[in-house]
A = this chain, B = another copy of it.
Amino acid sequence: MTKNKSKGIDFPVTCSPRGACPRVSRAHYKTWDRCDLTFVELAQDTAVAGVTTRSRCPSPEVEWCRHALQHGKARALVVNAGNANAFTGNRGRNAVEAIAAKVSDHLDCEPHEVFIASTGVIGEPLPIDKAEAGLDAVFTADAARWKDAARAIGTTDTFPKGATASAVIADTTVQISGIAKGSGMIAPDMATMLGFVFTDAAIEPALLQDMLNRAVAKTFNCITVDSDTSTSDTVLLFATGKAGNSPLAAMDDAGADAFAAALEAVCLELAQLVVRDGEGATKFIEIRVEGAESGESARRVALSVANSPLVKTAIAGEDANWGRVVMAVGKAGEPADRDRLSIRFGATQVAENGLAVDGYDEAPVAAHLKGDNIEIGVDLGIGNGHATVWTCDLTHGYISINADYRT
């Protein structure tokens, strides 16, 4: 996977879940000539679920969404790109309230039915005049393609990210479609960046939230680009109910399993697209840890490997330096026994029971590392816990993008 190749990644969302209509406009948050304000109008009585960053310095948008989620209903989503509006005090809060007020006037709904997310530079208040002009433009704009919405919510992203699936709930086919942005300041364990998923299924808010929590734990919370966690991370799931199924209220309702599986598939695809577009990434890396004391312990070990700059630079250099995987397992602080540890790269076992395998031949490993999709397997050999996480390599491109991000 190179940046050029990655631009060829498919954008699969062609038809909209009923009851969700995106529009985009230019608010000119930065001096760029592109759409940077996204507005998704949702049918009345759309249920909503969400997870947000665990950062101790969340943006006012995150605080707004947390508050609004308590009501469980949504009529609109507004996403601003180019300015995160984080760490901006009262001025930032005022901007969020102004956006909610203007949209609620326009749609004749409650302000808490308006969900808002912003992404970009931290520390500069979102300009209210630009937001209001952007909203005026977007209210009268034609419906956009989801691909245009996915582009409009991006910042350093190099391609639009979307995923779609369907599920059958008691003879009714429902659509689930999502978009996401993010390629830097991506870290696990605390939601991640911006992801928005829409479905026309009818699902009670409590069940919707439960399903989203489960899906995020195995998808968005299992990716990392650079171990840095955004102030603005938000994943929202909207269910318009327009598919006409009888509403799901519990996991043992017919079709709930199918819906949950389809939701997880959409979240996983979006999360992996974020990693594939990791800043400067040239390789997509899957790290699977088995034999851990517990699933959570396996995840921590896997993230220790995934966040190791030395592992990530070795893979960037296509260098089969598996000793750095040993180092990263060792530093994780999780239960491990050096002398039971086994490591594989791709299908090739490189180390077993605490040392290199007899007659280790580096040739197939070197060949695997020349590819775009790298697999690292770790077996701790002490239990049944397992987890898989996804990351990318660390390259000169990451340094170039981030050493001079604001200019």
Contacts and interface: CB of A to CB of B under 8 A. Distances in A.
A166 interface: no
Given A56-B334, A326-B87, A314 B405 contact: yes
A184 B334 contact: no
Interface stretch (A104-112, A157-165, A171-179, A347-355): A347-355
Contacts of A145: none
A123 B231 CA distance: 39
A309 interface: yes
A331 interface: yes
Contacts of A310: 184-185, 226, 228, 402
Contacts of A124: 323, 356
| Copies, count | 2
Contact of A338 (B58, B187, B338, B356): B58
A164 to B, nearest CB: 31
Interface string A307-334: 1111001101101011110111111111
B228 A55 contact: no
Contacts of A185: 310, 327
Interface stretch (A2-10, A16-24, A390-398): A390-398
A371 interface: no
Contact of A56 (B53, B332, B398): B332
Contacts of A58: 330, 338
Interface in A82-140: 84, 86-92, 121-125
User: What size tier do the contact residues of chain A reach?
Assistant: 35 or more
Contacts of A355: 87-92, 123, 125
A394 B396 CA distance: 10
Given A58-B330, A122-B324, A190-B331, A394 B399 contact: yes
Contacts of A308: 227-228
B319 A123 contact: no
Nearest to A301: B56
A55 B323 CA distance: 13
B122 A313 contact: no
A34 B231 CA distance: 49
Contacts of A231: 326-327, 330
A332 B227 CA distance: 11
A399 B356 CA distance: 26
A351 B403 contact: no
A89 B354 contact: yes
A310 B53 CA distance: 17
30 contacts: A54-B333, A55-B327, A56-B338, A57-B327, A57-B329, A57-B336, A57-B338, A89-B353, A122-B326, A123-B326, A123-B355, A124-B356, A184-B310, A185-B310, A190-B331, A227-B307, A228-B310, A228-B328, A229-B331, A309-B402, A313-B402, A313-B403, A314-B402, A314-B405, A317-B403, A319-B406, A321-B405, A395-B399, A396-B396, A398-B399
Interface of A: 53-58, 84, 86-92, 121-125, 184-185, 187, 190, 226-231, 307-310, 313-314, 316-317, 319, 321-324, 326-339, 341, 351, 353-356, 394-396, 398-400, 402-407
- Give the top 3 A-B pairs by smallest Cβ distance, nearest first: A122-B323, A317-B403, A57-B330
Given A54-B331, A87-B355, A314-B405, 19 more contacts: A56-B330, A56-B331, A56-B334, A89-B353, A90-B355, A91-B355, A121-B321, A123-B351, A226-B310, A227-B307, A228-B328, A228-B331, A231-B327, A231-B330, A309-B309, A313-B398, A317-B405, A395-B403, A398-B399
